[in-house]
Chain A
Amino acid sequence: MSATILQTEALSIGYTGRQGASRVIAANLHLRLHAGEVVCLLGPNGVGKSTLLRTLVRMQPPLAGRVWLDGADLCTLPPRELARRLSVVLTERIEVGQLSAYALVALGRHPHTDWTGRLSPRDEEVVRWALEAVDAVSLAHRQVHELSDGERQRIMVARALAQEPLLMVLDEPTAFLDLPRRVEMMRLLRRLARETNRALLLSTHDLDLALRSADALWLLAPGGVLHSGAPEDLVLGGAFEATFASDGIAFDRRHGSFQVHPPAQRRANLVGDGLIALWTARALERAGYTVGADHTAPALLVTISDDAGRPCWELGVPGGSSRKVGSLHALTALLRTGHMVVADPAADPKLDRMEERGSQ
C-alpha cells in the first residue's frame, strides 16, 4: 500500500448555528487517501459533498474529530504550510482581465515565493512543468479570458499543480465540459496522480466516468452515511441503491447505470429484424411502449417493411385501423397524437430498459 496522504479520524462535519446548536451532516468518518490515487466523491444534490470537501481543505472547521494531512493536524498547520501540501480547483468561474495563462499558473507559486512574489528560476521551472503536465504549453501565451472552458480548466489544474501539493481537491472539475473534454480531463487527472504520485480527490456527478476511472469512490448517502471502496465493490455491495434511492429511478447493477421507471406502459409487438428493428424498438420505448413479442395481449403491431428500397413502418391495432409511415419521426408523432389507441392493459411494474441519458 502506498503512503497515506490524508486520513480522517472520527470526523464530524456540519455547521454550527448562531445559538451554538450544530447541524451535523455526517459523523464518525474514517477516510483515507493514498498517494497516486484518484478518488471521486459522489452523492445526490444537497447531501453535503461540498461540506465534506470544504472541511477537508480547511475552509470550514470540523465539528469533531481530526484530519491528518501528511502526518500533520490539518487544523494547526500554518496557512503557508497548508498551501504547500494542498491545492484546490473550484467550480467558480474566475474573472481576470489581462492575465496570460502562464501568469495565472505562476500565481500558484504563491506559497513558495518570498514577500515580493518574485519567481526564482526554479519557480519558473515548476510553472513550465505544470503547463507541460496538463498539455497546455501552447496555451501559455494566451489570455485567460480567451480560453475555452476545457482549456481554462486545464490551466486551473496546472495552477493547482504549480503549488506542488501532495493532495489536490477538485470541485466538479468536469461540470462545464462536453463529453470528450470530460473523458480527457479524467484521463489527465489519472495520469497526474500516477506520474506525480499525488492524491486527487474530486467531486462529480458524472457517475459513468467515475465508475470507469476512479481508484476509489466515496459515496455520501442521505443521512450522512459514507460508503467508500473500489467502484466495483460498491456496485456489488449495493451502495449505489442505498445512496441514490429515490422514486422513479433505480440502479442497474449489470450496466452500472441508472434507469428511469417509465409512466404507465402500453405494449407493442414488433415484426422485423436488424438495425432497423433495434432503433424502432428504441423509438417505441421513448414513446412509452414496451416492446415484446407476446402475441396474446392486445397490443400495437408494428411491421417493418421495404418500400422500394426505403424502409417503412406499418402500424395497426387489433380490430382497428392501420397506418403506414415513412420515418420514425412520423411514427412517434402518430403515437403521440393518440390516433393509434390500444386498450390499456394492467399497468406493468416491470422496469424499462431506458437508460438515463441526461448525464451522457
Chain B
Amino acid sequence: MANAVPVSNESAWPRLGLRPLALLAMAGAALGAFLLSLVFGSVRIPPDQVLTILVGGEPLRATWVTIINDFRLPKALTATLAGAALGVSGLQMQTLFRNPLADPFVLGVSSGASLGVALVVLSVGAANTALLAVAGLLGNLSLVVAACLGAGAVLILVLVLAQRVQSSVTLLILGLMIGYLTSAVVSLLLSFSIAERIQAYIAWSFGSFGGVTWSQMRVLAPVVLGGLLLAFILTKALNALLLGETYARSMGLDIRRSRIGIVTSSAVLAGTVTAFCGPIAFLGIAIPHLCRALLRSADHRVLLPACALLGATAALLADLVAQAPGTSVVLPLNAITALIGAPVVVWIILRRGAGRGAFGV
C-alpha cells in the first residue's frame, strides 16, 4: 500500500513460515520408527541383515526374507498409512467442528465399519457350522469387505445429511447418534451370539496393523493416499474455518462444498483404516493436539503434514510396543496407544497451558 509507513526494521514482523525444519525432523522420526519396526519383532534379525534384505541382497537365512517382506514390511506400511490417516482425519474433524474433543469417529463411520464386521462375525456363526467354516476360509478378507460396506453406508448417509443441514454442530450430533445406533445393534448381535464368535469380534476390536496382506495393500494404500491428497487440497478451507463458519463464508469460502470435501476425506480415511485395522482409538484425537502444542501454530499448511508424520510415527511405535519385542505375546494395540499416549499428551498440554486460567482466555 502506498500510504504504508516505511518500516525501519523489516525483521520486526512475524514470519508465517511453513516450518520446514520442524517438518523435516518429524519426517526423520517417522523414517526412524519405520526402520525400527522392521528390525524388531518376535524373531531377532540383525539390523544389517534387514538392510541387506531391503536392498534386495542375500541374507544369512532365507526365512528372514519372508519374515521381512511378507510380514514386517506390509505391517509397517499399514501402520504408517493408518497413523497418518487418523492424525489428519482427527485434525480435520477438530477444525470443522471447532471442538477439541472431536476425532475421526465422531462421524459414525467407524461405528458403521464395526457394525459390518459384527454382522459377518456374529450372525454367520449363530447356527451354521458350514458357513462358519466358509468365514474362516475367507479369513479377514470377509471382515474387510464387511467393514468397508458398513463404513461406506454410513459415509453416504453422512454426506447426504451434510448436504442438507445448516450447521456443522447438527452434523456432529447426527454422527454421534449414528454411532449410538450402530453400537446398539452390535450389542444386540453380541447377546445372541456364541462365545467363539464374540471372541473373534473382540479380537478385531482390539485393533491390529498385522492383518493386511500385499493384495489388500493395493486397496488400502491408494485409498488412504487419495484421502490424504484431498485433505491437503482443503488446507486453505480449514484455515478459513478457524474463525468459524460465519467468518469463513464472509471471506468467500463455499461452506457447503468445503464441508462435503472435508467430511468425505475424513470419513474415507477413518473408514478405510477401521476396515483394515479395526477401530484404532486415541491417535485421531491426540495427534492434532500434540502437533499444535509442538509447533505452536494453528496454520493447517503446517499442521496437516505434521499430523500425518507424527501420526505415522506414533502408530509405528505403538505397534512396536504391542509386539513386545523378543516375546511371542501380542498386546492389544488399542490399549498400547492409549496407555503410552495419554500421559504424554496430558503432560504436553499441561506444560503448555500453565498460566492460562479460566478467565481472560
Name A's B-contacting residues (CB within 8 A). Answer: 57, 59, 79-84, 86-88, 90, 92, 94-100, 102-104, 106-108, 110-111, 113, 115-117, 119, 124-126, 128-129, 132, 137, 140-141, 145, 163, 195
Contact = CB atoms under 8 A, between A and B. Distances in A.
Interface string B228-257: 000001011001101110110111111000
Contact of B3 (A57, A94, A129, A140): A129
Interface string B81-98: 000000000000000001
B101 to A, nearest CB: 13
Contact of A102 (B14, B252, B295): B14
Contact of A103 (B12, B14, B244, B295): B14
Q: Which 10 pairs of residues, A with B, have the shortest CB-CB distance?
A: A83-B252, A117-B236, A129-B1, A111-B252, A110-B251, A80-B252, A99-B298, A102-B14, A129-B4, A79-B252
B55 interface: no
B251 A140 contact: no
A98 B253 contact: no
A122 to B, nearest CB: 9
A107 B239 contact: yes
A124 to B, nearest CB: 8
Query: Max chain B CB contacts within 10 Å: which of A57, A81, A84, A128?
Result: A128
Query: Max chain A CB contacts within 10 Å: which of B4, B13, B251, B253?
Result: B251
A88 B4 contact: no
B16 A116 contact: no
Contacts of B7: 128
A207 B30 CA distance: 60
Q: Chain B contact residues: over half helix, strand or loop, or mixed?
A: loop
B14 A125 contact: no
B259 to A, nearest CB: 14
Given A79-B253, A119-B16, A128-B7, A92 B236 contact: no
Given A86-B250, A94-B244, A97-B292, 15 more contacts: A59-B249, A90-B246, A92-B246, A94-B247, A98-B295, A98-B298, A103-B297, A103-B298, A107-B243, A111-B252, A117-B301, A124-B16, A125-B4, A128-B7, A129-B3
A61 B296 CA distance: 40
B350 interface: no
Interface in B84-130: 98
A110 B236 contact: yes
B242 A90 contact: no
Interface in B1-25: 1, 3-5, 7, 12-14, 16
25 contacts: A79-B254, A83-B250, A83-B251, A84-B252, A86-B250, A87-B250, A88-B246, A94-B244, A96-B298, A97-B298, A98-B292, A98-B295, A103-B297, A103-B299, A107-B239, A107-B240, A107-B242, A107-B251, A110-B253, A125-B1, A128-B7, A129-B3, A140-B13, A163-B251, A195-B3
Nearest to A79: B252
Contact of B250 (A81, A88, A100): A88
Contacts of A88: 246-247, 250
A140 B12 CA distance: 9
A284 to B, nearest CB: 39
A95 B297 CA distance: 14
A270 to B, nearest CB: 45
B16 A108 contact: no
Query: Max chain A CB contacts within 10 Å: which of B13, B243, B246?
Result: B243
A119 B7 CA distance: 19
B53 to A, nearest CB: 40
A268 to B, nearest CB: 44
B138 interface: no
B62 interface: no
A82 B292 contact: no
Nearest to A160: B250
Contacts of A117: 235-236, 239, 301
B354 interface: no
B361 interface: yes
A119 B251 CA distance: 15
Contacts of B292: 97-98
Contacts of B12: 137
A116 B301 contact: yes
Contacts of A140: 13-14
Contacts of B98: 95
Contacts of A94: 243-244, 247
A327 B250 CA distance: 57
B298 A141 contact: no
A104 B249 CA distance: 16
B236 A96 contact: no
A340 to B, nearest CB: 44
Contacts of B246: 59, 88, 90, 92
A96 B243 contact: yes
Contacts of B252: 79-84, 110-111
A252 B244 CA distance: 42
A92 B249 CA distance: 14
Contacts of B297: 98-99, 103
Contacts of A92: 244, 246
A79 B247 CA distance: 12
Nearest to B303: A98
Nearest to A114: B236
Contacts of A141: 14
B242 A99 contact: yes
Contacts of A125: 1, 4
Query: Max chain B CB contacts within 10 Å: which of A57, A83, A108, A119?
Result: A83
Interface in B272-298: 292, 295-298
A137 B301 CA distance: 25
A129 B32 CA distance: 45
Contacts of A145: 356, 361
Query: Max chain B CB contacts within 10 Å: which of A82, A95, A117, A140?
Result: A117
B248 to A, nearest CB: 8
B338 to A, nearest CB: 23
B288 to A, nearest CB: 11
Contacts of A119: 16
Contacts of A128: 4, 7, 13
A341 to B, nearest CB: 46
Contacts of B296: 98
A102 B16 contact: yes
Nearest to B18: A118
A304 to B, nearest CB: 45
A83 to B, nearest CB: 3
A132 B247 CA distance: 22
